[in-house]
Structure 1
Amino acid sequence: MPAPATITPTIVDTLYEDALILADEARMVFEMAEAAPHADKRDSAGRVALSCEALRTTTRMMHAMAWLLNHRAYFAGDLSEFQLRRHGRLPPAQPNAEAHQLALIDLYTRDLIDRTKAFYARIERLDRAWRDHYAMQPAAVHRLRDRLGKIYSTG
């Protein structure tokens, strides 16, 4: 298996631009859907499903953008590696909607939701690769603990 690609400022900047475009599209789509006159006021289930997905989608994109902004700050020297590792965690993905709720939403909006999920999955893979690359090796910690234990047990 090949080693994961290194996260570079160029990758982060490109993904950030993509995130801005996708978040703006989501904002426009959900704004237009909410502003559209509802012919049938009995379609409350559809409005609720749309509102729930709007919240999930915007939360997903804001988490991705925050992660990207933290990495941009790291590459700009505004955050240390320690600060990034401590405060730059990507939250778990939003739960998926149930199929019957998604069926109440138009195809274009469902496609947009799927694209934001795919984008978030890309950020999750990068985050996992970055954390795995910089993870403390437990073997080194255990060796140090063993050495300290031997020193104190013989002393």
Structure 2
Amino acid sequence: MRAANILRAFLLGIFLSFLLTCVFWAAIFSNYINYYGIPLFFNPFFGNVFNGYLFIIMMVVFGIGFFIPVVGFLIKFAYCLLLVISLLLFVPPLGKSVGETLLSKKIVLNINGEQKNVVALYEDKSYIVYQNSPEVLETLEERKRNLSYYKKP
């Protein structure tokens, strides 16, 4: 391969991987983070959930794979399939359930010397967001009032 083809594959891989990653996490953000009313902007959220190793792997596979004649069709088909799946996450029940699967986890917090089992809805580098009660709340205002923030030591 010539240097121009390598550069073109590299740039195409970056573009395609970034597009797929942004669409996926934007759907999770709009249907999971916004559902619970967690006050968070997309940029810090994306920076927290971004996986550089996965991005590099996708960049290499999609960038080089699009230019290889034998497997190019399969790579293009796989990319289109992943993009459609990511776009389907904009359907609220799907995006919310995938967001819960990827972002929520059961943890034990030590609050004022007392052990408390909670389901963390979102965990950042400096805090954990969880619900005070496990009951299902109907409105966004109720869900916002039910949130608690635990600052990590």
TM value normalised by structure 2: 0.30
Higher RCO by CA contacts (8 Å cutoff, separation 6 or greater): 1
Greater C-alpha radius of gyration: 1
Greater fraction strand: 2
Greater fraction helix: 1
